[in-house]
Amino acid sequence: MSKIVLGGSDAWFVSPDNKYGLSTQPAKNITDGDFSFLAKIRVNWDKMDPDNLSREGGVIIKNGLHMGLSVIKPDHEHCYVKATIWTIDASLGADGMKNEDILVKVNWEDGDLDKEYEVGFSFKKKEKEFSVYCDGTWETKKFEGTLIDYSNAWLWVGASNPLESCPVDFRQFFTGEIYNVGIFNKALDREEIIEIYRDFQNVSKRLKPVGLYDFKKQTPYKVLDISKNGNNLVLFDVTWMDSI
């Protein structure tokens, strides 16, 4: 099975805009309306320690006040897939910022931590709700206010924000394997997510894919976007970020 392997210090990203104009659906404004993130993953939970910076790893994240999918090991007994958003609501006073999370426990039985998980994050702007999917489990949460502006944020795979400008505590590198990634301009429901995982190489255009990555065609530094939208996945390297 094709994949990328992440060791806790590397990450990939989708460029917000393609400087050559090759992207037909730039990822920059993905959070302006409804959207979804999907990934099939295997987590190296043994490398995660609840007592240090390895306790949480970003799977697909828009950075800033981090938003998206991650995995977290908050103590030595529990492991979760986590969906998180940040909203702004003037009625809350001060800066009006509020964090909302959904946690789905994955370690119910022996062997659960060795499994591959099909996970997803779905956001509905008008309905003011977001959902998390994990191997058939579907949980939804309502929120007040509006999603904060992520138009200037980068979309990361395998970390929450690896940039040197981000405090070390919040870089949140993922450790494990990722077998596919999907980014969509649609709030996918449970049945649509199951449909996508059933045949990831042939995702219907009605599901509005922005970027699809099965890792079958890649170089050491780039993964082909099989949605044909031109949003290739790029390996993060601080030494040449200025050229992106």
Both tokens of residue 241?
A: 């970020």
Q: What are 133's strand-pairing partners?
A: 120, 138
What pLDDT is stored for residue 93 in this prediction? 60
**Distances 128 to 22, 34, 239 between C-alpha atoms, Å:** 33, 10, 40
pTM, full prediction = 0.94
SS3 127: coil
pLDDT tens-digit series, residues 119-143:
999 999 999 999 999 999 999 999 9
What pLDDT is stored for residue 96 in this prediction? 80
- Gap between the Cα atoms of 149 and 176, Å rounded: 30
Class level of CATH domain 4-243: mainly beta
Domain locations in the chain?
A: 4-243
What pLDDT is stored for residue 71 in this prediction? 98
What pLDDT is stored for residue 23 in this prediction? 62
